[in-house]
A and B are shown apart, each in its own frame.
Chain A
Amino acid sequence: MKLTVWTYEGPPHVGAMRVATGMTGLHYVLHAPQGDTYADLLFTMIERRDHRPPVTFTTFQARDLGADTAHLFKDACQRAYDRFQPEAIIVGASCTAELIQDDPGGMAETMGLPVPTIPLELPSYQRKENFGADETFFQIVRTLARPAERTAQITANLIGPTGLGFRHRDDIAEVTALLSDMGISVNAVAPMTSSPSDIARLGAAHFNVLMYPETAETAARWMERELGLPYSKVVPIGVGATRDFVAEVADLAGVAPYLDDSRLRLPWYSKSVDSTYLTGKRVFLFGDGTHVKAAARIARDEMGFEVVGLGCYNREMARDIRAVAKGFGVAPLITDDYLEVERTIEELSPEMILGTQMERHIGKRLGIPCAVISAPVHVQDFPARYSPQMGIEGANVIFDTWVHPLVMGLEEHLLTMFREDFEFHDAAGPSHHGGKAAPRVEDVDGGPAPQTPREYLEPEEAADLVPASTVSVIWLPAAEKELKKIPFFVRGKARRNTETFAAERGVSEISVDTLYEAKAHYAR
């Protein structure tokens, strides 16, 4: 048993639902108890879909367990076929049905339905949502895709987008445009937008664009082997990655590389002087492997941040992420334990988090700005506007998204200069974020005071404090007071640097001099 508070991924059958819901003409018959139908709301509420997911749940109850749940499954399967007339059916079990071992795949096969029925084996107690999506798409492709004559024109399949995907809807449009600029058409986008008959003719493309390794890598490898379709390895998130992607695709397609970067703004926005304040901002990255890998490169090479830590929650990408972390000289964090991620962030006290909706909450609690770069998704991750992550527009969107939570350059200076101002004080926060500015609390100067007990600090100040057990040096009152003059968004860094500096020199008490010696030491 593993104690879990929040989970980054759902169970594997939710991954299968993402594949089924993205497609058309496919139906998923899922042997599952009634409570599992909650998963429909992921699609109808979070993604705001206007149709129910194409899933029939058998919704067996306790009283059925003694009797005949197999019969229940067959009935549900037959009725689903009669009502929805799908081109193909996928069948499987959720975690509870896996335990009663009814073998939905075997039963469906004996029913002699006039369409392909594809059994799914998704071990609920070992694997998770991304595996479920990857395996389901692979089984569908393996069953339905046949070698086909290549299209006369150069075409590619875009594979990986699913229902409930992080910006998949807009990434499809962006990648389609990138290819189109090089004279490459799209043969099929799958699983999202495809029907079983579209899957059958995936082999007509000249190559695959693997948009999301999380959900389609197994299928990509199979198609490479069985259908002779090579696939792209670069995921075009960020300026550098988009350029590399164009080069790779040109190579796969045998055409000249071409990128229309007339609408690309990230490089200039990043170079323009007002972005100087981004230099060396310490960022921590966490999310799914693909997005973290791309974000790390953007953070360092395109934004000028310092990556102080990174990791992913999906073990399938652990190897890639370890390699990336090595390149950045940081320790990789491969975990799906939310509390461990929180502890790591607390220890590293970055100036910004690039994470998931879960890290956004950690950031809220610790007073660290956060931008969301990856699933798990939230209703906010399905904006009405066009908002891709990939390609040219994706890079522009990422620049805006990442800068938005930060206090901007000039404002940062104003906060530093007019720290005692009633508006520009520490706790005021970025002015473009709405919310009423908290009034400054006057300091009552009552002479030397002991170190402020944690519970009397503002939450964001308390968050700056390193847990007491790790502090082996004492802040003298004057130094403590001086530290408070440093703006809140860099105070955590100043405190940590000073303590490290003191500890390295065997200094047990930090004075104002120590603080400024440390500042000089770390000056860049």
Chain B
Amino acid sequence: MTELPRLAETGGCRNTPILKQRGQHQVFCGLTGIIWLHRKMQDAFFLVVGSRTCAHLLQSAAGVMIFAEPRFGTAILEETDLAGLADAQEELDRVVAELLSRRPDIRQLFLVGSCPSEVIKIDLQRAAERLSETHAPHVRILNFSGSGIETTFTQGEDACLASMVPVLPQTEARELLLVGALPDVVEEQAVSLLEQMGIGPIRVLPAPRADSDLAVGKNTVFVLTQPFLGDTHAALERRGARHLPAPFPFGEEGTTAWLRVIAEEFGVDAETFDRVTAAPRARARKAVSQASEALRGKSVFFFPDSQLEIPLARFLTRECGMEAIEVGAPFIHKGVVGPDLDLLAEGPTLAEGQDVDLQLDRCRAARPDLTVCGLGLANPLEAEGLATKWAIELVFTPVHFYEQAGDLAGLFSRPVRRADLLKVEAAE
């Protein structure tokens, strides 16, 4: 088989001490994941049980109403719900009945917990079980929490997928399960590469529809396509499935390493592996080297946001020639991002969680050439003369696997190129 990825010469970051500060976090809550999940699962509806704030967040984060009537909504808690005048379970029954009668096309309904519903302890699991009995077999009803007191941004997807695992049918078949919601085009590329190597059957969680043939059992091996799926990982292991730890498929190197782990598991010979990957690898290398021209020798600073930070830092440092100053992530789950940490050369500060004001101080002092951060920080930092890449685009854009490797580099190089391009300041 072709050469293994070089481990970082100085040793990886797996054992680097992690900076943990506790202060204001500047992150989305897990409800945000609904914005892409509801497009991915085409017969699912996401009903947030929460407050006006939850509804407002979904609307604001969704870039204000892309879809006339989306497959998500909020059951807004009112004074009567809090004062105990209305029984929460009865109210839910009413709202769900109203919703399902409006939308007969819905086959899966997720009751999504929020900060307020958790603080007042509305038992959504009980509600989901009861409502499933009422509405089965037409609609399957599950629950998960997207609350900001328990989940950060992409963890919402994790919680959602984890909630689906216990109800998956049992299978004894040896199958490969790809875990993570990817844009269709990207998912098809991954499946196609693996099938060309003779690997199969391949299943994907989440499936686009409820009535898929997705099943899990002790002969299932699974591989994650997103680094934020720690709970789903644990839930699958509880069902007896076995995890294949791998670097994440960002960039040419990441994609090759990810595919190789699967290929080895399924006994694919080196010749086949090379035959299938050679052409797209060459394309990816070429695209990355072109798109990363503006990035070589530049420094990058990651604020914690999507949990993609560690694999992306690996991609930017190893394939795009950047130097990482700080890599902040909301959580660092070494069982999931360990292989990426091994490949990330020592040097950058690794930070978990955040005190945003202190982190901003560090960022300003370091004056990185590129700062990867959330939407709340991007324009203020731009105004201070720092080029930024807003992180939410990384979860909304196809960036995985070979054919998108150049696009991924392009997402980071565009702000840097733009900063050089614009001549809008007054003449000196």
Task: Please report A residues at the B interface, Cβ cutoff 8 Å.
Answer: 1-7, 9-11, 13-14, 33-42, 44-46, 48-52, 56-62, 65, 76, 79, 83, 94-96, 99-100, 123-126, 128, 339, 357-358, 361-362, 364-365, 378
Known contacts A4-B76, A36-B148, A125-B51: A41-B68 contact under CB 8 Å: no
Distance (whole angstroms) from the CB of A378 to the closest CB of chain B: 6
* B91 surroundings in chain A (CB, below 8 A): 1
Report the stretch among B77-85, B182-190, B310-318, B393-401 that lies at the interface: B77-85
Which of A9, A65, A96 contacts B51 (CB under 8 A)?
A96
Q: Are A50 and B64 in contact (CB under 8 A)?
A: no
**In the complex where A50-B380, A95-B51 touch, is A7 in contact with B56 (Cβ < 8 A)?**
yes
State the Cβ distance, A411 to closest chain B Cβ, in Å: 28
Chain B residues in 8 Å Cβ range of A13: 53
A83 to B378, CA, bound (A): 21
Could you tell me if A125 and B79 are in contact, using CB atoms closer than 8 angstroms?
yes
In the docked arrangement, what's the CA distance between A126 and B77, Å? 10
Mask, B370-414, CB within 8 Å of A = 1, is 000011111110110000000000000000000000000000000
14 pairs from A and B in contact (CB 8 Å cutoff): A1-B81, A1-B94, A3-B73, A6-B55, A7-B55, A7-B74, A10-B53, A35-B57, A35-B115, A40-B26, A44-B379, A83-B357, A99-B116, A361-B65
In angstroms, Cα B375 to Cα A430, docked, is: 36
Please give 12 more A-B residue pairs, beta carbons under 8 A apart, in addition to A3-B74, A41-B374: A4-B55, A9-B52, A10-B60, A33-B147, A35-B31, A35-B147, A36-B29, A40-B375, A45-B378, A49-B380, A79-B23, A83-B357
Chain A CB within 8 A of B8 CB: no
Contact of A100 with B79 at beta-carbon distance under 8 Å, contacts A10-B56, A33-B148, A65-B149 already known:
no
Look across to chain B and name the residue whose beta carbon is closest to the beta carbon of A12. B52
Residue of A nearest to B48 (CB): A4
- Asked whether A51 lies within 8 Å of B383 as measured between CB atoms, the reply is yes
CB of B152 closer than 8 Å to a CB of A = yes
A49 to B379, CA, bound (A): 7
Known: A65-B119, A357-B65. A124 touches B53 (CB 8 A): yes
Decide: B24 and A56 in contact? CB cutoff 8 A: yes
Asked if B41 is at the interface of the complex by the 8 Å CB criterion, the answer is: no
With A3-B95, A125-B82: A44-B56 Cβ-Cβ less than 8 Å: no
CB-contact partner of B376 in A38, A126, A378, under 8 A: A38
Shortest CB distance B88–A (Å) = 8
Contact of B24 among A46, A59, A123, A125 (CB under 8 A): A59
Binary A-proximity of B137-153 (CB < 8 A = 1, otherwise 0): 00000000001111010
User: In the bound complex, what is the Cα–Cα distance between A38 and B54 (angstroms)?
Assistant: 10
B residues whose Cβ falls under 8 Å from a Cβ of A = 23-32, 49, 51-53, 55-57, 59-61, 64-65, 68-70, 73-79, 81-82, 86, 88, 91-92, 94-95, 98-99, 115-116, 118-120, 147-150, 152, 357, 374-380, 382-383
Residues of A within 8 Å of B65, CB to CB, are 6, 357-358, 361
**What residue of chain B has the Cβ atom nearest to residue A360's Cβ?**
B65
In the bound assembly, the distance between CA atoms of A4 and B78 in angstroms comes to 12
Also in contact, A38 and B61, with CB within 8 A (given A3-B95, A10-B53, A52-B376): yes
- Is the CB–CB distance between A1 and B95 below 8 Å? yes
User: Which among A1, A95, A125 has the greatest number of chain B C-beta atoms within 10 A?
Assistant: A1
Residues of B within 8 A of A7 (CB): 52, 55-56, 59, 74
**Cα-based distance from A45 to B391 in the complex (angstroms):** 13
Partner of A61, one of B73, B75, B86, B150: B150
Across the A-B interface, give the 4 residue pairs with the lowest CB-CB distance, nearest first.
A35-B148, A35-B29, A40-B376, A50-B383
Set A41, A95, A96, A125: member contacting B149, Cβ < 8 A? A96
Contacts A37-B24, A38-B61, A57-B24 given; does A2 touch B75 at CB 8 Å: yes
- Contact indicator A34/B27 (Cβ below 8 Å): yes
- Which of A3, A34, A128, A361 sits near B152, CB closer than 8 Å? A34
Q: How far is the CB of A122 from chain B (nearest CB, A)?
A: 12
Closest to B96 in A: A3
Contact A99 B375 (CB under 8 A): no
Complex contacts, B379 vs chain A, CB 8 Å: 44-45, 48-50
Decide if A95 touches B116 in the complex (CB within 8 Å). Answer: yes
A6–B62 alpha-carbon span in the complex (Å): 11
In the complex the two chains form, is B149's CB within 8 Å of A60's CB? yes
Nearest residue (CB) in A for B98 is: A3
Task: Flag if B25 contacts A37 (CB, 8 Å).
Answer: yes
The CA of A461 and the CA of B173, in the complex, are separated in Å by 52
| Bound CA–CA A35/B61 (angstroms) | 11
Complex Cα distance A4/B73, Å? 6
How long is the Cα–Cα vector from A361 to B64 in the complex, in angstroms? 10
Look across to chain B and name the residue whose beta carbon is closest to the beta carbon of A124. B51
Q: Which residues of B contact A83 (CB under 8 A)?
A: 357
A364: chain B residues at CB < 8 Å are 68
Are A76 and B52 in contact, CB atoms less than 8 angstroms apart? no
Q: Is A96 in contact with B24, judged by CB distance below 8 angstroms?
A: no
CB distance from A9 to the nearest CB of B (A): 8
CA distance A51 to B79 in the complex (A): 35
Q: In the complex the two chains form, what is the Cα distance from A286 to B200 in whole Å?
A: 56
Q: What CA separation (Å) do A36 and B152 show in the bound complex?
A: 11
Q: Give Cα distance in the complex from A48 to B383, angstroms.
A: 10
Q: Which residue of A lies closest to B75 (CB)?
A: A1
Q: Which listed residue (A1, A10, A39, A125) contacts B92, Cβ 8 A? A: A1
Partner of B52, one of A11, A35, A60: A11
Do B149 and A33 touch across chains, with their CB atoms under 8 A apart? Answer: yes
Q: Which residues of B contact A6 (CB under 8 A)?
A: 55, 59, 65
**Contact status B53-A36, CB under 8 Å:** yes
Central interface residue in B24, B77, B81, by most chain A CB within 10 Å: B24
Complex contact A2–B68 (CB within 8 A): no
Among B65, B81, B382, the most chain A Cβ lie within 10 Å of the Cβ of B65
> In the complex the two chains form, is B31's CB within 8 Å of A37's CB?
no
Chain A residue contacts of B81, Cβ below 8 A: 1, 125
A79 and B21 alpha carbons, distance in the complex (Å): 14
Residues of B within 8 A of A365 (CB): 68
Residues of A within 8 A of B149 (CB): 33-35, 60-62, 65, 96
Chain B residues with CB below 8 A from A96, complex form: 51, 53, 115-116, 119, 148-149
Chain B residues closer than 8 Å to A378, beta-carbon distance = 64
Inside 8 A of A44's CB, which chain B residues have their CB?
375-380
Tell me the complex Cα distance, A46–B376, Å.
10
Q: How far is the CA of A85 from the CA of B193 in the complex (A)?
A: 58
- Alpha-carbon separation in the docked complex, A95 to B57 (Å): 13
C-alpha spacing A124/B364, complex, angstroms = 36
State the CA gap A7–B53 with chains docked (Å).
Answer: 10
Assuming the A-B contacts A44-B375, A50-B382, are A5 and B25 also in contact, with contact meaning beta carbons closer than 8 angstroms in the complex? no
Residue of B nearest to A55 (CB): B24
A42-B60, A44-B379, A60-B149 known; A1-B77 Cβ under 8 A? yes
Given contacts A2-B76, A96-B51, A125-B77, contact A14 B376 (CB under 8 A): no
Contacts of B77 in A (CB 8 A): 1, 125
B68–A125 touching, CB < 8 Å: no
Q: How far is the CA of A59 from the CA of B354 in the complex (A)?
A: 11
Indicate if the CB atoms of B376 and A41 lie closer than 8 Å.
yes
Query: How many angstroms between the C-alpha atoms of A50 and B88 in the bound complex?
Result: 43
The residue in B53, B65, B374, B377 that gathers the most chain A C-beta atoms within 10 A of its C-beta is B53
What are the residues of chain A within 8 A of B27 when measuring CB–CB?
34-35, 37
A469 to chain B, nearest CB (A): 16
Chain B residues with Cβ below 8 Å from A361 are: 65, 68
Nearest to B69 among chain A residues (CB) is A5
> B78 touches which one: A1, A9, A36, A46 (CB < 8 A)?
A1
Output the nearest chain A residue to B53 by Cβ-Cβ distance: A11
Query: In the complex, what distance in Å separates the CA atom of A362 from the CA atom of B79?
Result: 30
In the complex where A5-B73, A6-B65, A62-B118 touch, is A34 in contact with B375 (Cβ < 8 A)? no
Bound complex: CA A16 to CA B94 (Å) = 33
User: Given A38-B57, A52-B380, A125-B79, do A11 and B51 touch, yes or no (CB 8 Å)?
Assistant: yes
